[in-house]
């Protein structure tokens, strides 16, 4: 059995400003750094032996706070865990997109799996690349606990698939706050056993 702890990066400047990040990046705010440190404290007794991060700096910065707290030698990088590319939407305000793409944005809010963002990735593409990496972990790290720092949409899609929620069902998907914790046990046969989903109680301490 391999235990995987999935989490989201800390708050960024663009999170605060309501801008679309995607494959672009924005630095952690002071609050985001504190969130990462509180997260690291929360995870210190989980027996984590390996830390992975998306290749985007906001995730790496969050993962490094965990690495320092756990006194591990390095953070491994995986582009498969980066955020969905929002293409032409990146760097723009969510509120402005509602005016610029009213029909497409309405569909995005209700049924994002049906949307192909101009110049961006589809929900299916992100799910496939992230799940391929995630499902390979039991063979690489048997009987170990792995922490992965990723992003809001990528994290939601992984958890959806792990829980057996259909790609077109968005009614039962828990919101993943910054540094939310998800703990999943993976067997070598491909079974996924959810232990904890979208927990953010540690943020009360932040």
CA distance 194 to 3: 10
Catalytic position from the list 11, 65, 83, 121:
83
Could you tell me the two tokens for 172? 């039962």
Tell me, yes or no, if 83 is annotated catalytic.
yes
CA distance 98 to 106: 8
Cα 134 → chain centroid: 12
Tell me, yes or no, if 9 is annotated catalytic.
yes
Task: Check if the beta carbon of residue 50 is closer than 8 Å to that of residue 137.
Answer: no
Question: Cα separations (Å) of 148 from 82, 99, 100, 168?
Answer: 11, 35, 35, 25
Active site amino acids = 9, 83
């Amino acid at each position: 059995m391999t235990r995987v702890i999935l989490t989201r990066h800390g708050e960024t400047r663009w999170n605060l400003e309501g801008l679309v990040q995607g494959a672009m990046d924005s630095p952690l705010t002071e609050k985001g750094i504190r969130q990462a440190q509180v997260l690291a404290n929360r995870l210190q007794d989980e027996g984590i032996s390996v830390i992975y991060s998306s290749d985007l700096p906001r995730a790496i910065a969050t993962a490094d706070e965990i690495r320092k707290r756990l006194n591990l030698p390095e953070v491994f990088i995986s582009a498969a865990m980066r955020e969905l590319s929002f293409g032409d939407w990146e760097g723009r305000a969510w509120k402005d997109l509602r005016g610029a793409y009213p029909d497409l944005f309405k569909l995005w809010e209700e049924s994002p799996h049906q949307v192909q963002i101009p110049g961006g990735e589809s929900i299916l593409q992100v799910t496939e690349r992230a799940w391929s990496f995630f499902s390979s972990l039991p063979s690489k790290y048997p009987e170990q606990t792995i922490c992965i720092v990723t992003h809001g949409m990528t994290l939601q899609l992984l958890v959806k698939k792990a829980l057996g929620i259909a790609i077109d069902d968005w009614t039962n998907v828990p919101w993943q706050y910054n540094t939310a914790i998800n703990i999943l046990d993976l067997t070598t046969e491909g079974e996924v056993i959810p232990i904890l989903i979208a927990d953010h109680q540690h943020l009360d301490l932040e």
